[in-house]
Copies of this chain bind each other. A is one copy, B any other.
Amino acid sequence: MDIQQVLELIHSEVLPFVPKGKVASYIPALATVPPNRLAICVHTNEGVVYSVGDVSIPFSIQSISKVFGFTLAYKILGGDIWKRLGKEPSGNSFNSLVQLEHEQGIPRNPFINAGALVISDMLLSLYPNPQQVLLDFVRRMANEPSINYNYDVAKSEKGAGARNAALAYFMKSFGNIQNSVEDVLDFYFLQCSLEMSTLCLSKSFQYLANHGVVPSTSEQILTISQAKRISALMITSGLYNESGDFAYRVGMPAKSGVGGGIVAVIPKKLSICVWSPPLNEFGNSLVGIEALERFTSYTGVSIF
């Protein structure tokens, strides 16, 4: 069975799981997405693309954007990035303040909300216009100039974002936010509002699957070591409080978003994106995890 056939098989097998999840409803823009959207796309490092389902429909990438933001800051700051961030799994729900209090305003890792807020704060200090830098980066990685923020979504998010505001002010009280909280939140929510298709997301993660180099253009985004290390962070912390279970069931470095997307990589082999809006109790795409578990089982690819 080749990969295309595998994707088609998975597509048919996981559709029945759709009613078991719940589409994110805290903002209208997410709540109104049809729950039965389903798309899977694979990019191999050799440049072959496999896909099935609604792969060209853009959706809100939400927390998947945390990988892009982290990449941009890490590229510049290197190991210095860890002065204001940890790299340990959070061991708590993804926006918990308890750990943050215990650890004096240093977020556990860059993929929980608190960590991504610190990254947003870093980017605001590093670039005069980080909004444009991030957008350019994503467009280039996906080779798709039409990718954009959804300003309405960003605005809704902010309206519903009291908890993220609490996180940011709390870190500021420990001195770990340097710009104004207002600016940090604005940029954070803007980046979460990025809309990309399954196809674009899969393509845009090729640099991680290919040890830091974009296969089609040979552009070196990160060093080999840096690319490996982002994969390590993704496997220990990419799916919030379900990261351990995901590593156990699926065995791929991955990052999820409440829009229902999950992007994963097999280093040296391929990147993959699945999109299905209904979420499980941990805020991860329920069908997405089912699909990815089947993908590693059926193809035998895995990092372990």
Chain A residues within 8 Å of B, Cβ to Cβ? 86-92, 96-99, 101, 108-109, 162-163, 165-170, 172-173, 181, 225, 227-229, 231-233, 235-237, 241-245, 247-249, 251, 253, 267, 297, 302-304
Contacts and interface: CB of A to CB of B under 8 A. Distances in A.
Contacts of A232: 244, 247-248, 251, 304
Contact of A169 (B166, B242, B243, B303): B166
B248 A229 contact: yes
Stoichiometry, as copies per complex, reads 4
Contact of A244 (B101, B163, B225, B236): B236
A236 B228 contact: no
Nearest to A242: B88
Which among A166, A173, A227, A253 has the highest number of chain B CB atoms within 10 Å?
A: A166
B91 A90 contact: yes
Given A97-B170, A237-B244, 12 more contacts: A89-B89, A97-B97, A165-B169, A169-B169, A170-B170, A225-B297, A229-B248, A229-B304, A236-B244, A253-B304, A267-B303, A267-B304
A242 to B, nearest CB: 8
Contacts of A251: 228-229, 232
Contact of A88 (B88, B231, B241): B241
Nearest to A170: B166
Contact of A233 (B86, B109, B244, B303): B244
A261 B49 CA distance: 44
A77 B92 CA distance: 27
A301 to B, nearest CB: 11
Nearest to A297: B225
